Chains A and B, each alone.
Chain A
Amino acid sequence: MAEETVADIKKKSMSIIVTKGSLDWAYPPFILATTAAALDFDVTLFFTFYGLALLKKDLNPKFTVLGNAAMEMPMFGTHIAMPNFMAMIPGVDAIAGSMMKKMIKDKGVASLDDLREAAVLSDVRMIACQMTLDLFEYKKEDLIDEIELGGAATYFDVAANCNINLFI
Chain B
Amino acid sequence: MAEQMLDAKGLNCPLPILKAKKMLSGMQPGDVLVIEATDPGSVADFAAFCSQTGNELLESGQEGDVFKFKIKKA
Contact = CB atoms under 8 A, between A and B. Distances in A.
Interface of A: 6, 12, 31, 34-35, 38-40, 107-110, 118, 122
Contacts of B15: 108-110
Given A6-B54, A40-B53, A118 B18 contact: yes
A109 B18 contact: no
Interface of B: 10-15, 17-18, 20-21, 39, 48-49, 52-54
Nearest to B51: A39
Q: Is the interface of B mostly helix, strand, loop or mixed?
A: helix
Contacts of A6: 54
A34 B45 CA distance: 14
A38 B17 contact: yes
B12 A109 contact: yes
A38 B12 contact: no
Contacts of A39: 17, 48-49, 52-53
